[in-house]
Structure 1
């Protein structure tokens, strides 16, 4: 299991720390956990939902995200995960394209489990269809972990790194996990 300290885009904001961990499970399974430390209780948590519904615009509130890129390819997937236990997967052909709003939903990644925990969030995903359709091995892919945290201090943007002048989770340079 690989873990990453996610950094707030606003470097002055040190009140909340966030760690993401990635674990490959078997041939096509992916487990990701997010551990949040909020000693001042700044976080604003959404109400829990039952049944893990697919919903758009989750990034407008507290939302953890996983970006899946493929070496040498422009297309990628964006997975949005809410502490409400709602989720969604979007497909892009290249950087932020198509520009539809909401983005085009992808149905080649399945949710096995998504739950809010006392430490943050845990998700298990099935990438079988995505990997088989594109003839991918784990070594072909790279991941980015990000989060939008809605706090009493305003929205805070966390990522593995921020190499753009603005918070830009779609910047593949910041997707650091290699299998």
Structure 2
């Protein structure tokens, strides 16, 4: 599983977080497997309480982890949001921030959360992609909320200007085609 180091957006510093990484892979049917690890003073991070794995809009307003995926050269992309609570969201966009519809998944993503004093690990596995035999461009990101309600944005790569995980500049890595059984 490749490991990606996320960077804080310069306009939203987060002094109590030392590092955010994500490991991302695909299984044989194209399902995404993501493991996000946040290191730092985790007591200062606002972590939503555990709930049933239910589709929920607006997860980006609080601590959550995200991945955006698209076929190379395509304007169409999918967005997955994974909350440490177990809530999730999945959307498809026709092009940059336009034509959004809920992405239908065969089953809800599986999300697990492990919290320690110095680390929060969120693991998620979400539905098959449309093209398991092809590589995908990915944008990996995290929204971290502190106990005072301040938000900081972390991403593999940030576009210039305000935080914007949908921007094409964020699709900074290529995930290989699914491994064959």
TM-score for the superposition, normalised by structure 2: 0.84
Residues 28 and 132 in structure 2, CA contact (< 8 A), matched pair in contact too: no
Deviation of 1:111 (Å): 3.5
- The runs of at least 4 aligned residues of structure 1 exceeding 3 Å deviation read 11-14, 108-112
Distance 1:40 1:23, change over 3 A: closer
Give 3-state SS (helix, strand or coil) of 1:146's partner.
strand
Q: Which position in structure 1 is the counterpart of 2:84?
A: 83
Give 3-state SS (helix, strand or coil) of 2:44's partner.
coil
Quick one: which of 47, 50, 53 aligns to 1:48?
50
Residues 10 and 156 in structure 1, CA contact (< 8 A), matched pair in contact too: no
Q: Which position in structure 2 is the counterpart of 1:173?
A: 169
Question: How many residues end up aligned between the 2 structures?
Answer: 168
Distance 1:13 1:111, change over 3 A: same
Deviation of 1:110 (Å): 4.3
Residues in 1 aligned to 2:109 and 2:142: alpha-carbon distance in whole angstroms: 20
TM-score for the superposition, normalised by structure 1: 0.85
Report which stretch shifted further, 22-31 or 10-19.
10-19
List gaps (5 residues or longer) in structure 1. Answer: none
